[in-house]
Chains A and B, each alone.
Chain A
Amino acid sequence: MSNNFAIKTIDLTKKFGNFTACDNLTFEVHKGEIFGFLGANGAGKTTAMKMLSGLLSPTSGTAKIADYDIYKESEKIKKNIGYMSQKFSLYDDLTIQENINFFAGIYGLSNKLIKEKSEVVINELDLKKQQNKLVGSLPLGWKQKLAFSIAIFHNPAIVFLDEPTGGVDPVTRRQFWDLIYQSAERGLTVFLTTHYMDESEYCNRIAIMANGKLAAIGTPKELKESNSSSSMNDVFIQIARGKNYV
């Protein structure tokens, strides 16, 4: 039924006591799509991401993630998604290879497969010389690229990126986006949050949350046109302030 969708939610809602963090979210993310999920701090993005990644059970509504039911199959969801956040991604006191072994091991990949694939990944990232260095000694930009590669090491259907590119220089930030594009071309669905509004333009489609609700959804072009704005920054400032509910 939902074969073309990596994510499909209907009226997805999460309440904490009297507070509705996510209010009837209905949207779809296509397979292989780069989907930007924006909103002001406190708009409900984190709660929504936690539900979509199987970490938090919704109060009501339905959702299918990678064809699995959000209530009954949350363990299967976890196996079929990858997650990377700026706050926590890798262990600084383990080497690059140890981090790969650790995370791939958690996902139950065989030692043989881990060995073969880490060679490919390390070569692709040009980290051969640093393979046995502690991750803590790497520049932030390399850490981010490595964290992304590890998040998709087990070949998930969807990867969730929570502000993946903070703090790096503009060239490094774009190199990270190359990785995103390459992976999306191979069929990976990318679901990401960012505070860089220019980056939101690189997404195929964008959803903007405001006060727990889905305030807008569309391609960057559509959102700019419907809000008569020339940049996503203007669109965001208009919508995230709470006008224009759909």
Chain B
Amino acid sequence: MKAIIAENLSKKYQEVQAIENVSIDVNFGEIFGLIGPDGAGKTTIIRILTTLILADSGNANVNTFDVVKDYQKIRKSVGYMPGKFSLYEDLTVEENVKLFASIFNSKFEENYNLIKTIYSQIEPFKNRLAGQLSGGMKQKLALSCALIHKPKILFLDEPTTGVDAVSRKEFWEMLIDLKNQGLAILVSTPYMDEASLCDRVGLIQHGKIMQIDTPTKIVQDFKHSIFGIESNKVYTILELLRTYQNTYSCYAFGDKIHYIDKRNKFDIMDIQNFLKGNKVENFIILDNVKPTIEDCFMDLMRHQ
């Protein structure tokens, strides 16, 4: 039994095609990541699956229920954390969690164990108004509220956007813990580096899923060889390589440039000579640089 099955979902907002023929499936005990920039269609997919909006065409089942006919049943069995902080800022931490528990006819005390590891981190501030929490704490409260009615499937819309790297790491540790308890998690993110924390990902751009697979497989399938160029003149080298006839692509990646050549076989000296001919001296070229999900995403964008 699948937690989520979506088949050929399409949705238009006036003239804008938000998503087009999107098909994904998510298993219980799995984290599925929708990875893509703002405007790619991630929120639209999540809103259709949480029964908040209707697709123009296509079908979807969540927890075996149809998103149109059985929307009320779906709402009882899923937890949803929207991209925008949507709790009551003028209620305290504890009041928010209790409110969400009672909306779903469940008791905070009964399901406390479910959220204990997450909620205990904000419990010292349980009498603080939600509006006065830091970004990382708001995020933990929102996750607690999304979990308090014991959902089987969790939808998280960009839960880590704007959150610092430390809080992001902690948040992902919580998600992996929830997954291990059997929950299905559909999470969207614009941070490509978070892909490796998902079991499977869908890379999405302009409303279309470009590729779905495990992060390892996506990286393995990358068909180009990447050369890394290290230098203290990164921008100068980038500008030069953009004018070089054999450049397929060149982009800054952290502390190096990822360079891909148009040719299948070539001598690395060619690039060295080209750069030296343009008066760049201090650089190191490394071969066999491992591609990242971001390399794959950018290459898929070229073919879209």
A and B held together in a complex: yes
Question: Are A169 and B169 in contact, CB atoms less than 8 angstroms apart?
Answer: no
Q: Pick out which of these stretches binds chain A: B31-39, B175-183, B218-226.
A: B31-39
In the complex, which residues of chain B have a beta carbon less than 8 angstroms from the beta carbon of A42? 134-136
In the complex, which residues of chain A have a beta carbon less than 8 angstroms from the beta carbon of B163? 41, 195
In the complex, which residues of chain B have a beta carbon less than 8 angstroms from the beta carbon of A197? 165, 193
A139-B39, A140-B38, A169-B37 given; A40·B167 CB < 8 A: yes
Identify which of A172, A178, A201 contacts B37 (C-beta below 8 A).
A172
In the complex, which residues of chain A have a beta carbon less than 8 angstroms from the beta carbon of B205? 169
* Chain B CB within 8 A of A152 CB: no
Question: Are B166 and A195 in contact, CB atoms less than 8 angstroms apart?
Answer: no
* Chain A CB within 8 A of B301 CB: yes
In the complex, which residues of chain A have a beta carbon less than 8 angstroms from the beta carbon of B161? 166-167
* Chain B CB within 8 A of A106 CB: no
Interface string of A180-210 (1 = CB under 8 A from B): 0100010000000001111001100000000
In the complex, which residues of chain B have a beta carbon less than 8 angstroms from the beta carbon of A139? 39
A167-B38, A170-B297, A171-B298 given; A198·B166 CB < 8 A: no
Question: Are A170 and B166 in contact, CB atoms less than 8 angstroms apart?
Answer: no
Chain B nearest Cβ from A201, distance in angstroms: 4
Question: Are A174 and B165 in contact, CB atoms less than 8 angstroms apart?
Answer: no
Question: Are A236 and B235 in contact, CB atoms less than 8 angstroms apart?
Answer: no
In the complex, which residues of chain A have a beta carbon less than 8 angstroms from the beta carbon of B124? none
* Chain A CB within 8 A of B234 CB: yes
Chain A nearest Cβ from B230, distance in angstroms: 10
* Chain B CB within 8 A of A120 CB: no
Question: Are A174 and B251 in contact, CB atoms less than 8 angstroms apart?
Answer: yes
Q: How far is the CA of A198 from the CA of B297 in the complex (A)?
A: 16
Which one of A139, A167, A169, A202 has the highest number of Cβ atoms from chain B below 10 Å of its Cβ?
A: A169
Q: Pick out which of these stretches binds chain A: B22-30, B57-65, B71-79, B252-260.
A: B252-260
Q: How far is the CA of A231 from the CA of B290 in the complex (A)?
A: 15
Question: Are A198 and B164 in contact, CB atoms less than 8 angstroms apart?
Answer: no
CB-CB contacts below 8 Å: B118-136 with A: 134-136
Identify which of B134, B165, B255, B294 contacts A221 (C-beta below 8 A).
B255
* Chain B CB within 8 A of A92 CB: no
A172: nearest chain-B partner, CB-CB = B37
Q: How far is the CA of A172 from the CA of B40 in the complex (A)?
A: 13
Q: How far is the CA of A185 from the CA of B234 in the complex (A)?
A: 12
In the complex, which residues of chain B have a beta carbon less than 8 angstroms from the beta carbon of A178? 235, 238
In the complex, which residues of chain B have a beta carbon less than 8 angstroms from the beta carbon of A168? 37-38, 190
Question: Are A237 and B166 in contact, CB atoms less than 8 angstroms apart?
Answer: yes
A41-B135, A171-B301, A233-B193 given; A240·B166 CB < 8 A: yes
Question: Are A40 and B36 in contact, CB atoms less than 8 angstroms apart?
Answer: no
* Chain A CB within 8 A of B277 CB: no
Identify which of B165, B169, B252 contacts A195 (C-beta below 8 A).
B165
* Chain A CB within 8 A of B244 CB: no
Identify which of A41, A140, A163, A231 contacts B167 (C-beta below 8 A).
A41
Chain B nearest Cβ from A185, distance in angstroms: 7
Can you offer 19 A-B residue contacts whose CB atoms are under 8 A?
Answer: A40-B164, A40-B165, A40-B167, A41-B164, A166-B161, A166-B190, A170-B251, A170-B294, A171-B298, A177-B252, A185-B235, A195-B164, A197-B165, A198-B193, A220-B255, A233-B193, A237-B166, A237-B169, A240-B164
